[in-house]
Amino acid sequence: MPLCRSLDALIRDLRQTLISSGLYDKEADAMIKTWRNSWFEEGMRVFYILPRGITDATLPLQIDPRPAELVRVLVGRTEVITPEMEKAVKKQVSRLNDASPKIREQAGLAIQKLGRFYEPILRRIVEDETDAAVRARILRLLEASSSPGE
């Protein structure tokens, strides 16, 4: 789908895909309502419907008595880390050693706002980082994010 689509248009398309996969209208609506906050948060992602065989193998289900019909739809989601996201994070990492405490604090808060993207983006950018000081900062951030109690 084009990147310029509105959220409402994306939700309508996903709803139609879920219905085409066998869900009733109300089931599709409930699934979207349940997952809306994580599916449509800030960022770019790719959605896909897993084949029924993978769904059954991943999440085995036994019902007794066996229903006449059973439809299962498992939605996969892959987060996309763009070069622009990496560049923005790298900029904030470089600001962590600024002389100004306020700038260091703002940079730290900007990095923390990444939420669950924090660690994957840092791991991604550290792979190609050639500046030893910046690489060390990233590794310290990663170490702090994996420390117990953090």
pTM over the 0.85 mark:
no
DSSP one-letter code for 45: E
pLDDT for 150 equals 46
Mean pLDDT of the chain: 88
DSSP code per residue over 119-150:
HHHHHHHHHH---HHHHHHHHHHHHHHHSTT-
Q: Has residue 6 got a pLDDT over 50?
A: yes
The residue among 109, 123, 39 whose CA lies nearest residue 81 is 123
Taking phi over 0 as left and psi of -120 to 50 as alpha, with beta for the rest, 22 belongs to left
Distance, in Å, from the CA atom of 85 to the CA atom of 10, rounded to the nearest integer, reads 22
The residue among 75, 85, 14, 73 whose CA lies nearest residue 44 is 85
Q: What is the mean pLDDT of residues 37-59?
A: 89
Q: What is the mean pLDDT of residues 10-30?
A: 95
CB-hemisphere CA count at 13 Å for 106? 9
CB atoms within 10 A of CB 92: 18
Q: What is the mean pLDDT of residues 105-126?
A: 86
52, 79, 114, 145 from 141: Cα distances, Å: 40, 21, 13, 6
Q: Has residue 147 got a pLDDT over 80?
A: no
Q: What is the mean pLDDT of residues 104-110?
A: 90
The residue among 50, 48, 41 whose CA lies nearest residue 116 is 41
pLDDT for 2 equals 53
Q: Has residue 121 got a pLDDT over 70?
A: yes
> For a pLDDT cut of 70, what percent of the chain falls above it?
95
Q: Which of 1-15, 41-55, 87-101 has the lowest mean pLDDT?
A: 1-15
pLDDT for 85 equals 84
